[in-house]
Structure 1
Amino acid sequence: MSAHLRRLQVTTFVSTLDRFAMPPMLVAIAHDLGASLAEVVQAAGAYFLVYGLSQPLWGIVSDRLGRVRTMRITLLAAGLFALLSAGAWSPLSLALTRGLAGGFFGAAYPATLIYVGDTVAISERQRDIARLMVGVATGTALASVSAGVLADVLSWRVAFVITGVASVTLAAWTLRRLPEPAASARPGSVREAIATVARSRAALLVLLLAFTEGAVLLGGLTLLPPAVESTGATAAVAGTVTAVYGVAVYLGSRLVGRLSATWHPSQLIALGAGSAVVACGLLAISQDPPVAVVVALLLGLAWTSMHSSLQTWATEVLPAARATVVSFFAGSLFVGSALAAVVVADLADAGRFTLIYASYAALAVPLGIGAGLARRRWVRPGGGG
């Protein structure tokens, strides 16, 4: 594996560390701020909403400023707002600071995908995109375990101090040695870039699938810790259960990297969607920690197999507008997640996790069928499937 890919893994690690620090602490934050769980879930939703909405902007900005420069500037700003999140005194101040942190962290992961799309051959692209998930897996596992423990032992605020310092120092410094990829053919203006995407039915379909996937996979994962805590488990236990997801993503990324050499992407999508259906169905039946461990494993497999396939598709569907498609893809994913969090916030506050996860399971069925069939029928520009 190249040094460049390792630096991109560091970027995904730091971004994911911040993104997954909050879910294990939702209950602790609500208690500390004297707020309802619904208010804090909505604050978390603000992070994902701004995270998602900002990503089309960063894709366009990276066409002008460059991939690496965009990552470095936004990671610096994101780290500063993560530090400000540690001083939040109300659900509103938390939503504002987390939303701004999410807006800048939103540039990190899609920029790494665009970088891979710009520099890696199509035949090897899904393998390297799966390898990027090692950073995601490590960040998820570490955030899930440490955030829950910190919330129990010290304070939830410490977690945001750690992610802020990591973003400002580690990622920004590491990226100094990452070379800027050679400029490829790109739309000449923002309007042309968006118009190119809007005219492509395939690109619009990929964005719709990303939106739905965000609601199911990220929405389901965000509520996993409070679902476990609803059974009486501590934040540390709930965080440890969620950390299993990080382990599953790590193992799944290695598996998918190998399967991608022989399996068609539609088969990987089917594998992921099936795993999501079973995972959400199990959690609809029981939210006990042992069941949640199995659910976390299945969600990790769903993410690495279905999501990496859709991500790779996003880098291929319109090569001349790759940055725009990928950034809109990431935006759709997290907007879907944020809206799902807002829709089910009151149900989560009432502890109605059975209904929530039964709905996610039902939504995963048409997602898997539609995405699998569409990817099977799609023909890559210039030939190939």
Structure 2
Amino acid sequence: MTIARRTPSSSSRWMYRAIGFLSFFDRFSAAPMMVVFASQEGAPLATAAALLAGYSFAYALGQPLWGALGDRVGRIFALRLALCGSLVASVLSVVLDPMPLVFAARILAGIFVGGLFPTIMTITGDTVREGPERSREVSALQTTTALGTTAATVLAAAVASLASWRVVPAVAAAGFALTLWAVRPLHESARRATLTASRAAFSRWTLVLYVIGVLDGAVLLGVFSFIAPAITAGGVAPALAGIFTASYGIAIIVGAQINRRLIQLWPRTRTMFLGGIALVLAYALAATGATPALAAASALIGLSNAFFHAAVQTWATEVAPQARATTVSLFVFALFAGAALATSTIAPMAEHGYGTVFLISTFAAVVLTGGATWAYSFWERERSTPQTMHSDTPK
């Protein structure tokens, strides 16, 4: 696929960041609202949990479809469609009353909201120059998505309990309407991919990246969800446990700002390795079971997200430019698959205590750090070798 690079304006970049904020706000607002939803609707907690599971399942399964759509008909078209669907699904979540229809509306939201972040990541890969500039923009996107996550975690349950759970999707709907209006002037950043070019999303290195994505999702996202329950198991009230784990979002924001400066001085393998070490240290601390150690672990996992995960995400935009949308979407799908696999595997183990869970996670973090850093450095050398050979050839 031939990329028609257009450096995005400052307003366009802020618009993409706003979309990233909204997508993570909508995605992470469901979990803290489960108890409030069950109480206000007079439904069992299991029904609220099923609603969250249905949303997450739809979010993950839609990823390959959004990738193929972006590569075949255009990224901006896919973005507009995802925003339009997210708006409709959010409005339906506000106005529909019977539980089966609410369930259908939230599944619809999962499908369309799931298309937002991979699409803006793909557009970033199309329009921002590869290297430190792209890494900085990915870090900026991470900052706004972390703000969306933090806002959802801290505010969603509070707002829902004071008013109604339907206020939260109403706020999201307003945001989707504004950004849908804002994307009107955008033009496609790349030509459509051919079927042959789309096969690049299944090359040797993209498959390696997807395996790393599964492990990344399992260790970074899946295991992290058990930090708050581990704090609660130590006798801390659930509300306070949420405050302790809020250090995760704050650490992402701070770490992303530091990372934007380091990537101008360090090679990506070094920032990737630094983030991996933070992840290893986080779970080693969490294995002690002490509340201060678990709070510190939450912050270290946030730093790992800002350094390690950002580096792997940026790699996903580079590894197969001919089929960038498909590759990024499959990478995101791998992340969610890994997170879901970890959650389902750890839940039975956690009933017997969290120490063993975090010890195993420490070992898995070592494997992830070493494997991802080695794979990226090998890919980078392999990619640069033909260019070096070509430049040395007499003309």
* Interval of TM-score (by shorter of Structure 1 and Structure 2): 0.7 to 0.9
Q: How does 1:24-103 map to 2 (within 5 A)?
A: 24-26=32-34, 33-36=43-46, 43-84=51-92, 97-103=105-111
Q: Which of 307-316 and 55-64 deviates more?
A: 55-64
**Which of 150, 157, 164 matches 1:141?**
150
Counterpart of 2:316, as a letter, is A
**Which of 336, 339, 342 matches 1:337?**
339
User: Helix, strand or coil for the counterpart of 1:176?
Assistant: coil
**1:96: how far off?**
5.2
- CA 1:89/1:285 → structure 2, altered by over 3 Å: closer, same or farther? farther
Work out the CA distance in 2 between the residues paired with 1:81 and 1:287.
Answer: 42
User: Residues 326-353 of structure 1: CA distance to partner in whole angstroms, max 9, x if unpaired?
Assistant: 11111111122223233334456x4844
- CA 1:46/1:118 → structure 2, altered by over 3 Å: closer, same or farther? same
| Higher CA-based Rg | 2
Aligned to 2:200: 196
Aligned to 1:183: 190
Q: How does 1:218-257 map to 2 (within 5 A)?
A: 218-231=221-234, 233-257=236-260
Counterpart of 1:126, as a letter, is S
Q: Does 1:130 align with 2:139?
A: yes
Which TM-score applies when normalising by structure 2?
0.83
Work out the CA distance in 2 between the residues paired with 1:53 and 1:310.
Answer: 21
Counterpart of 1:220, as a letter, is V
Q: Check the 8 A contact 1:314/1:325 in 2, yes or no.
A: yes
**1:88: how far off?**
8.1
Q: How many residues align?
A: 374
User: Residues 182-241 of structure 1: CA distance to partner in whole angstroms, max 9, x if unpaired?
Assistant: 324x5312xx3553222x211110111111111111113334444444445455434433
**1:127: how far off?**
1.3
Work out the CA distance in 1 between the residues paired with 2:296 and 2:91.
Answer: 34
Q: Check the 8 A contact 2:213/2:331 in 1, yes or no.
A: yes
Aligned to 1:213: 216
**1:146: how far off?**
0.3
Q: Which of 363-372 and 47-56 deviates more?
A: 47-56
- CA 1:23/1:234 → structure 2, altered by over 3 Å: closer, same or farther? farther
User: Helix, strand or coil for the counterpart of 1:378?
Assistant: helix
Q: Does 1:22 align with 2:36?
A: no
**1:153: how far off?**
4.2
Aligned to 1:266: 269
- CA 1:353/1:95 → structure 2, altered by over 3 Å: closer, same or farther? farther
**1:23: how far off?**
3.2
Work out the CA distance in 2 between the residues paired with 1:241 and 1:106.
Answer: 28
User: Helix, strand or coil for the counterpart of 1:122?
Assistant: coil
Q: Check the 8 A contact 1:140/1:245 in 2, yes or no.
A: no
Work out the CA distance in 1 between the residues paired with 2:78 and 2:295.
Answer: 37
Percent of aligned positions that are identical: 33
**1:301: how far off?**
0.8
Q: Check the 8 A contact 2:72/2:194 in 1, yes or no.
A: no
Q: Check the 8 A contact 2:72/2:193 in 1, yes or no.
A: no
- CA 1:232/1:174 → structure 2, altered by over 3 Å: closer, same or farther? farther
User: Residues 319-378 of structure 1: CA distance to partner in whole angstroms, max 9, x if unpaired?
Assistant: 212111111111111122223233334456x48444443333332121111001111221
**1:245: how far off?**
1.9
**Which of 310, 314, 317 matches 1:315?**
317
User: Helix, strand or coil for the counterpart of 1:20?
Assistant: helix
Which TM-score applies when normalising by structure 1?
0.85
Structure 1: gaps (5+ residues)? none
CA RMSD in angstroms, aligned pairs only:
3.0
Work out the CA distance in 2 between the residues paired with 1:59 and 1:100.
Answer: 17
Work out the CA distance in 1 between the residues paired with 2:60 and 2:223.
Answer: 17
Work out the CA distance in 2 between the residues paired with 1:214 and 1:317.
Answer: 19
Work out the CA distance in 2 between the residues paired with 1:202 and 1:196.
Answer: 9
Q: Which of 53-62 and 11-20 deviates more?
A: 53-62
Structure 2: gaps (5+ residues)? 1-8, 389-395
Work out the CA distance in 1 between the residues paired with 2:281 and 2:67.
Answer: 34
Work out the CA distance in 1 between the residues paired with 2:97 and 2:245.
Answer: 25
Aligned to 1:4: 12
